[in-house]
Amino acid sequence: MKILKRYWPWIRDLGLIIIGSLAQAVGLRLFLIPANLASGGVSGISQLINHFTDWPIGLMVLIGNLPLFIIGWRFLGGRKFGLRTAVAIISYSVAVDVLVFFLPVNGLTDDIFLNSLYGAVVAGFGYGLVYRGRGTSGGSDILARILNHWRGVSMSASYLMVDSAVILGAGLVFGWKEALYALITLYVSGLVAETVLEGPRTVRTALIVTAQPKLVSERILEDMSRGVTMMSATGAYTGANRPVLYCVVTRAEVALLKNIVNEADPKAFMVIGQAHEALGEGFQPLKA
């Protein structure tokens, strides 16, 4: 039991990575390949080469990732980086070539819009699971991190450089219509991956400047069962001391919070912000 508890984080992470890699392969094989939509990175390059040579895409993904993996091992964390990334690359490459025997060669539809949309959703779901397993998907992930580490290029700029080059090649090979849809696929898959990674945990933060801090905080504590932090601030124009209340609520509780503040102090000033995640009492447990 102690052994299982000790190694459970690794087992969980590797399970997420394998399932995520399988989902990526399904998205690629079932939606993107039949519609000639380049998926970006090494997978996209492999699709372009396959178009001319018929070499197995999964095998080329594996070969294309080898030099990046070796460089990534050197610059991105050695064993800690290597195991999860190796599992992701190998499981994805194998799944891409094996699934050809189980999925329709021509996909489910010949509608390029549906292929780009569902390909993005399925593949993005897979990316998100891999990221939740603290892994990388190889290809663009490794290259972007290397450029960021070695040359100080931002992650977003690195992804843009790599994937733009692949999309340009796809436009020359498959046609510009397919390339434009591939851009949509890349964008949507990124949004889906981010949602899966972070989960539906987006919360709202509130800063409340009020002349009735005690009344407002009591109402929030009693009516909403939410904690409130009271801070002291000084108005730049008046020089007067102003108490500021800070609290975190869910999206559904924003309307109630506004009503409470309005009833307690109609002249209060309130700013509602957005936070990706809240950890601790009243929200998600504070753990990885």
* Same domain as 78, residue 60: yes
280 within some domain: no
Full 3-state SS string of 189-240: HHHHHHHHHHCCCCEEEEEEECCCHHHHHHHHHHHHCCCCEEEEEECCCCCC
Domain membership of residue 283 (yes or no) is: no
Provide the 10 A C-beta neighbour count for residue 190: 18
pLDDT reported for residue 282: 67
State whether 125 and 224 are in the same domain.
Answer: no
Is there a contact between 129 and 23 (Cβ–Cβ < 8 Å)? yes
- 155 and 90 share a domain? yes
Are residues 194 and 112 part of one domain? yes
Out of 153, 183, 198, pick the residue that ends a domain: 198
Q: In this structure, is residue 60 part of a structural domain?
A: yes
If asked whether residues 213 and 173 sit together in one domain, one would say no
Q: Is residue 65 part of a domain?
A: yes
How many Cα atoms within 13 Å fall on the side-chain side of residue 51?
19
Question: What angle do the packed helices 78-98 and 2-27 form, to 10 degrees?
Answer: 50
Output the six-digit token pair for 174: 């498959």
Report which DSSP code applies to 73: H
Are 51 and 162 members of one domain? yes
Whether residue 212 sits in one domain with residue 241: yes
Strand bridging mode 241-249 / 203-209 = antiparallel
76 & 207 share domain = no
Domain assignment of residue 281, yes or no: no
Dist CA 87 CA 18 (whole Å): 7
Residue 117 located in a structural domain: yes
171 in any annotated domain: yes
254 in a domain, yes or no?
Answer: yes
Looking at the structure, tell me whether residues 220 and 167 fall in a common domain: no
Dihedral (Cα; 195, 109, 107, 182), 10-degree rounding:
-50
The two tokens of residue 65 are: 């990732």
> What CA–CA distance (Å, rounded) separates 24 from 93?
10
**Residue 222 lies in domain:** 203-275
Amino acid identity, position 170:
A
Do 19 and 118 lie in one domain? The reply is yes
Q: Which of 39, 195, 21 is nearest to 115 (CA)?
A: 39
Whether residue 178 sits in one domain with residue 207? no
Q: Which two tokens stand for residue 110?
A: 């010949």
Paired with 243 in beta bridges are 232
Tokens of 143: 């290259």
Domain end residue (candidates: 198, 225, 248)? 198
Eight-state DSSP code of residue 151 = H
For the chain (288 residues), the mean pLDDT of every run of 10, in chain order, is 72 91 95 90 90 92 87 68 84 94 91 95 91 78 69 62 82 90 88 77 87 92 89 82 89 88 92 82 66
Number of domains in the chain: 2
10 Å CB burial of residue 229 (0-12, 13-18, 19+) is exposed
Residues, the chain = 288
Clarify whether residues 138 and 219 are in a common domain.
Answer: no
Domain termination site, one of 198, 217, 249? 198
What is the CATH number for 250? 3.30.70.120
